Amino acid sequence: MTLKIRMDGKIVIYAPHHTSKGDIDMFFKEKSSWISKKLIERDRQIDSIEQAKRFVSGERFLYLGEDYPLRLHDTNGGNTPLKLLYGTFLLDKDRVDEAKELFIKWYRKRAAEEVGERVDYYSKRLRLFPLNIKITSARSRYGSCSPDNRLSFSWRIVMAPYTVIDYVVIHELVHIREKNHSRKFWSCVEKIIPDYKKRRLWLRKNGHLLMV
């Protein structure tokens, strides 16, 4: 058996036709440390070529598929230096040096809320229950399911439309039942979201925009 990490962050295992599911799962588990190391290296490479945000008034930031302008405003002395209000991101002028960290913190919180809600909804609907859910900082691997059914989602996915978030959530929930990308896996996904290919294509075309 061989393993490959694709450009979009997905992991593909190539195995002889007669290989049992148990052997494939064991192979994946044995390679988990190597996979984690390679994904971290890949994220660092992507990070080095991303165009950095400048955090100036008028710059736009995605949230749930819509982009909103940033406006720097006078500090109001409150505990929310960054907020989305009436279609505009408002950032305290004296916190610009912390802007990236503030945006990441904001997105992580929203991702935990939005993704958590969608996982809860589809878990009950599909009767596929993860052991737990974690929000990560992965740059292109938007979701993953561990061998023991722990789900991880990048906070970046909350920048995408709800339809794409649902695709990623359903994709990982189905992995609780099917730990591979076989025909059976994709058939299960298609029964739930017949247009999954369109949603997956959105990620491939727009993934580079899901950054801060």
What percent of the chain clears pLDDT 70, i.e. is strictly above it?
91
pLDDT digits (tens, 9 = 90+) for 109-160: 999 999 999 999 999 999 999 999 999 999 878 999 999 999 999 999 999 9
Check residue 64 and give its pLDDT.
96
SS3 helix, strand, coil % of the chain, rounded to 5? 50, 20, 30
pLDDT digits (tens, 9 = 90+) for 153-196: 999 999 999 999 999 999 999 999 999 999 999 999 999 999 99
Domains, in order of start, for the chain = 2-51+104-209 (3.30.2010.10), 60-96 (no CATH)
150 within 8 A of 132, measured Cβ to Cβ: yes
Q: For residue 38, what pLDDT band results from cuts at 50, 70 and 90?
A: confident
Return left, alpha or beta for 92; rule: phi > 0 is left, psi -120 to 50 is alpha, else beta.
beta
d(CA 89, CA 105): 14
